[in-house]
């Protein structure tokens, strides 16, 4: 892909929205306390521990939970990816905010609908779990040294390792990472 062009890239600017369960519903589920979800009937500890299933994580193989330290970078999205075999989750450790952008799944297309992207500011009090196939880039830090717990299939992480990257893109059975600049001469920016 790595095609250099003399044509200035198209810049799509997205307004930043506050992440709410309603606005995020097309892309996945918020991970956090939800009083509307009844506790499960688990009676140990004299009621001191209440277990609520707020989301159903899906993975058909070895799942891992790496902690990724993210530093600030330009709020400009060049890469997008999706996963076909699991629901990926991002959870801020230390309550630091982060920004993420999503486009809905479109399994028959090679790239997302560029006009369908939305950008969200997460305040750090909740995490987020994407639906299978949701297009996204890795979250953007608002503050340096933001630690995110990422829950995903090991196969997806391994697909991003340098040996699997060809011309700035990565592909594995559970990962498609695409370069928007090379494929569409487009970048997506977030408006603060």
Q: How confident is the model at residue 4 (pLDDT cuts 50, 70, 90)?
A: low
Domains of the chain, by residue range, sit at 10-191
Instruction: Give me the pLDDT at residue 6, please.
Output: 65
How does pLDDT run across 22-47, given as a tens digit for each residue? 999 999 999 998 889 999 998 888 88
Distance CA 153, CA 174 (A): 8
Separation of alpha carbons 45 and 29, rounded Å: 29
Instruction: Give the predicted TM-score (pTM) of the model.
Output: 0.89
Q: What is the DSSP code string of 124-172?
A: SSSEEEEPTT-EE---EESSSSEEEEEEEEHHHHHHTSGGGEETTEEEE
| Structure confidence by residue, pLDDT tens digits, 52-90 | 988 889 988 899 999 999 999 999 999 999 999 999 999
Please give the CATH topology (third level) of the domain spanning 10-191. Jelly Rolls (2.60.120)
């Amino acid at each position: 892909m790595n095609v250099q062009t003399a044509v200035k890239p198209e810049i799509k600017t997205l307004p930043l929205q506050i992440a709410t369960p309603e606005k995020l519903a097309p892309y996945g589920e918020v991970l956090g306390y939800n009083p509307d979800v009844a506790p499960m009937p688990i009676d140990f500890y004299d009621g001191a521990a209440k277990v609520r299933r707020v989301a159903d994580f899906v993975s058909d193989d070895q799942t891992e939970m790496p902690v990724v330290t993210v530093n600030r970078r330009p709020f400009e999205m060049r890469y997008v990816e999706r996963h076909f075999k699991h629901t990926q989750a991002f959870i801020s450790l230390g309550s630091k905010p982060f920004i993420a952008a999503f486009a809905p799944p479109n399994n028959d297309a090679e790239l997302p609908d560029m006009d369908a992207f939305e950008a969200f500011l997460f305040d750090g009090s909740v995490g987020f779990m994407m639906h299978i196939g949701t297009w996204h880039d890795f979250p953007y830090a608002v503050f340096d040294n933001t630690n995110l717990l990422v829950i995903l299939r090991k196969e997806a992480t391994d697909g991003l390792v340098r040996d699997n990257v060809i011309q700035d893109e990565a592909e594995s059975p559970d990962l498609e990472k695409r370069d928007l600049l090379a494929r569409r001469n487009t970048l997506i920016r977030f408006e603060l």
